[in-house]
Structures are given as C-alpha cells and as structure tokens.
C-alpha cells in the first residue's frame, strides 16, 4: 500500500483534531477513523465519516412503529426483529463514507451496486498512479469448469510464472506508452521537450484494468449490508471479497448490535421456499424424502441440502 505525501499529511491533520459533538459516536470506529487499512498489494480502505449508530436505528424504528415497539424489551431485540422481518427503512438512517483505492477491474464490478454516492479519481484531470494489481501465486487460477464466472484449479510452476510475467509486462508497457502519449512522466518530468502531449482523457484508454484508481464511496447502512452480503460471501471474486472483509470489520466497529443480527440472519441464515419448508418438516418428522418428487430442481435441491449441511443427500 502506498499513500501520497499529501494523503499521509491529511490523515495526520484529521487525526489530530479534537472536536466536541452532541451527535452519537461509535467509539470502536473512532479508533480507526481516517486510517488506511491495507488491501491487496497497493489498495486500501479508509473510513472518512459516518452518521448514526445502533441507537439511531432504534430511534427511527420507534418513530415509525410508535407504541407497538413496547413489546420489544431491548434495543438489541428490536434490531433483531427488524432484521428478521426484513424491515429495512430504519437501517437507512445511518450512513458511512469510505475512501477506497482499488484496481479498475474491481471498481467496474463494484459500481454495479448502484445504491451509493461515488466520486472517482479523474484521469481526465490527473495522471493515474503507476501502480498495478498483481495477484499472488495462490490466487492465479484457471477458469472453473462448472462456474462460468468463477475460478478453478490453481496454476502451478512455469505456467503461473508465465501468466504473472504477462500481467506485469503488459501493465508496465502500457503505462510507459501512456506516459509517452502524455509527454509527461509519473514524477512530473517531460518525456520530450519538442513534443506536444495527447489529452489525458484520450491517453488513459490505453491503460490495463489492473491499474489502480481511487474513489469516495458513501452509502447508507442498509445498502452497505446488501453489498457485504454478496461481496463478503465465499462465492464472490477474491479481490472484491478482500475489500468486503475489511469493510465487514468496520461494520462491526460501527454498529455491533446490527452486525450481530446481520451475521446471524443474512450471512449465516438461508431463505427457504414453501416446497423447501415441506421438505424440512418431513426431515424433522423422520419421513423419507424423494428428490424426484420434491418439486425442486436439482440445483434447488442441492442448494437446500448444502444450506442444511446434509451433503450425503446431494444429487
């Protein structure tokens, strides 16, 4: 991970502040506020700002539900109730803002989550950093034979070395051409005094997708959890999962009660169809179940059995 001199100074200045506030604060999140938490080889995640905490969710719910919440004896119980019954609006009352440095190909996957405010580093205005993501050997894998958007067996020996060299050489070569077209090097020096540089908005299109970009990403708690439920899952691509894992820790620091309910009902739980419910009832009662007569497809059946950790019943 590499921070610019300006970014390092900004972090020092921000962390040296001592502000008094009447707003709620999350003590554990305050401990890492502004810190650059390393991700991948050159990336990072920083929490820049946040609004609200667990009590803000409870406050919003009680405004919405009025006296009905008196039946829920504790704030924890209310948050679990909201999570369990998919009451989403109270979680939208909390917001968080991140500064993220990430490879462009992950940014393009990430931006599919359209429920956030995003401001990205402008390569029309500035020169992109000379930094590229290069996977570690254990993350160089062949295409999965069963999953069109997943990885299969890890590449070994000379094959892995060849692929890594290709990735590195392509990134360095295209960046060198980028500097030549700009007629300006990364360090600010001029390539050729007699040449006129190409516009930055045009020169950037030559760069590889493993080049790093940066953005500010602000979202509410509900949509952060939706993002993490998908991207911290073991099926997600490793690179975006690495960012999601760091953000999952910030969630725990920020709203620990909500985090516990989220891990229980969203991450650790599973959704069951009406047909699946009937199968579970039969399993509990000791009845024999026939996959062919269950009304479920092979995929649905296997997903249910895996969720119930009944691998011996897979078909």
Q: Which of 251, 267, 283 is the last residue of a domain?
A: 267
Residue 195 lies inside a defined structural domain of this protein: no
pLDDT band at 156 (very low <50, low <70, confident <90, very high): confident
Give the pLDDT band (50/70/90) at residue 206. very high
Quick: pLDDT tens for 100-153.
999 999 999 999 999 999 999 999 999 999 999 999 988 888 887 777 777 778
Q: For residue 255, what is the domain's CATH number?
A: 3.30.1360.170
Residue 113 lies in a domain: yes
Residue 163 included in any domain: no
In a domain, 161, yes or no: no
Residues with Cβ within 8 Å of 165's Cβ and at least 6 positions away in sequence, in order, are none
Q: Write out the residue range of the structural domain in which residue 308 sits.
A: 274-313
Minimal CA–CA distance to 246: which of 81, 95, 35, 76?
35
pTM reported for the whole predicted model: 0.89
User: Is the separation of the CB atoms in 37 and 246 below 8 Å?
Assistant: yes
Statement to judge: residues 289 and 238 lie in one domain: no
Q: Which of 87-96, 150-159, 271-280, 290-299 has the lowest mean pLDDT?
A: 150-159
Q: Are residues 282 and 233 in the same domain?
A: no
Note whether 10 and 89 are same-domain residues: yes
Tell me, yes or no, whether 42 lies in a domain: yes
Q: How many domains does the chain have?
A: 2
Judge whether 231 counts as a catalytic residue: yes
The catalytically annotated residue of 46, 200, 231, 241 is 231
C-alpha radius of gyration, the chain, whole number: 24
Q: Is the distance from CB of 181 to CB of 198 less than 8 angstroms? A: yes
For residues 308 and 215, state if they share a domain: no
Q: Furthest-apart CA pair in the chain: how many Å?
A: 85
Rounded to 10 degrees, the C-alpha dihedral 296/300/305/306 comes to: 180
- Given a cut of 70, whether residue 27 has pLDDT beyond it is yes
Share of the chain above pLDDT 90, in %: 66
In this prediction, residues 212-237 reach a mean pLDDT of: 96
The pLDDT of residue 186? 84
- Of 244, 267, 290, the one marking the end of a domain is 267
Domain co-membership, 70 together with 31: yes
Q: Residue 164: is its pLDDT beyond 80? A: yes
How much is the pLDDT for 254?
A: 98
**214 assigned to some structural domain:** yes
Give the Cα separation of 264 and 266 in Å (integer): 6
Q: Are residues 72 and 30 in the same domain?
A: yes
Question: Is 295 within the bounds of a domain?
Answer: yes
Is 139 within the bounds of a domain?
A: no
SS (H, E, C) the chain: CCCCHHHHHHHHHHHCCCCCCCCCCCHHHHCCCCCCEEECCCEEEEEEEEECCHHHHHHHHHHHHHHHHHHCCCHHHHHHHHHHCCCCHHHHHCEEEEEEEEEHHHHHHHCCCCCCEEEECCCCCCCCCCCECCCCHHHCEEECCCCCCCEEEECCHHHHHHHHHHHHHHHHHHHHHHHHHHCECCCCCECCCCCCCCCHHHHHHHCCCCEEEEEEEEEEHHHHHHHHHHHCCCCCCHHHHHHHHHHHHHHHHHCHHHHHHHHHHHHCCCCCCHHHHHHHHHHHHCCCCCHHHCCCCHHHHHHHHHHCCCHHHCC
pLDDT band at residue 271 using 50, 70 and 90 as cut-offs: confident
Q: Is the pLDDT of residue 224 over 90?
A: yes
pLDDT level of residue 217 (50, 70, 90 thresholds):
very high
Whether residues 300 and 218 share a domain: the answer is: no
Cα 58 to chain centroid distance, Å, stands at 26
Q: How confident is the model over 38-74, as pLDDT tens digits?
A: 999 999 999 999 999 999 999 999 886 655 555 445 8
pLDDT at 72: 47
């Amino acid at each position: 991970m590499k921070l610019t001199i300006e970014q390092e100074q900004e972090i020092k200045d921000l962390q040296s502040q001592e502000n008094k506030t009447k707003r709620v604060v999350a003590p554990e999140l305050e401990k890492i506020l502004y810190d650059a938490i390393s991700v991948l080889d050159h990336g990072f995640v920083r929490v820049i700002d946040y609004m609200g905490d667990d009590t803000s969710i409870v406050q919003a719910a009680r405004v919405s539900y009025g006296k009905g919440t008196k039946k829920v004896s504790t704030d924890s119980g209310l948050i679990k109730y909201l999570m369990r019954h998919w009451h989403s609006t109270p979680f939208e009352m909390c917001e968080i803002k991140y500064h993220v440095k990430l490879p462009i190909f992950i940014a393009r996957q990430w931006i599919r989550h359209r429920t956030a405010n995003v401001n990205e580093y402008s390569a029309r205005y500035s020169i992109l950093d000379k930094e590229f993501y290069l996977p570690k050997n254990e993350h160089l894998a062949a295409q999965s034979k069963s999953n069109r958007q997943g990885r299969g067996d890890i590449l070994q020996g000379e094959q892995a070395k060849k692929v890594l060299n290709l990735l590195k050489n392509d990134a360095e070569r295209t960046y060198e051409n980028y500097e030549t077209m700009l007629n300006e090097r990364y360090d600010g020096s001029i390539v050729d005094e007699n040449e006129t540089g190409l516009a930055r908005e045009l020169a950037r299109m030559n760069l590889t997708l493993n080049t790093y970009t940066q953005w500010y990403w602000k979202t509410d708690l509900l949509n952060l959890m939706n993002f993490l439920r998908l991207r911290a899952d073991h099926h997600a691509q490793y690179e975006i999962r690495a960012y999601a894992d760091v953000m999952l820790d910030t969630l725990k620091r920020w709203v620990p009660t909500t985090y516990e309910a989220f891990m229980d009902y969203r991450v650790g739980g599973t959704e069951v169809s009406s047909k699946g419910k009937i199968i579970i009832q039969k399993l509990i009662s000791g009845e024999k179940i026939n996959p062919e007569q269950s009304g479920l497809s092979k995929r649905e059946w296997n997903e249910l059995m895996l969720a119930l950790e009944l691998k011996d019943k897979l078909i």
